[in-house]
Amino acid sequence: MEIERAAILFLETGELEEIDISRESLEKNYEDIKGFIQFINENNSIEQYKKSEECEEYCEYSILCNIN
């Protein structure tokens, strides 16, 4: 079966978001995912992650940022 188009339906809002399924887009996404997996495999300690400069004071993840 040849796929002509794809979309994601967000059930909470009913919004339908079209997805680019061109060969170039799919290859880029594949490479991005491989790079992300490699990064995760090489950085398995919270101390290896840089704290964002855009964190808000009441962020629910602030406990993780304050570990460093």
Burial 42-62 (b: 16+ CB within 10 A, else e): eeeeeeeeeeeeeeeeeeeee
Residue 8, pLDDT above cutoff 70 = yes
Higher-confidence residue of 67 and 48: namely 48
pLDDT band at 48 (very low <50, low <70, confident <90, very high): confident
Report the percentage of the chain scoring pLDDT > 70: 82
Higher-confidence residue of 37 and 68: namely 37
Residue spans per domain, the chain: 1-44
Higher-confidence residue of 66 and 7: namely 7
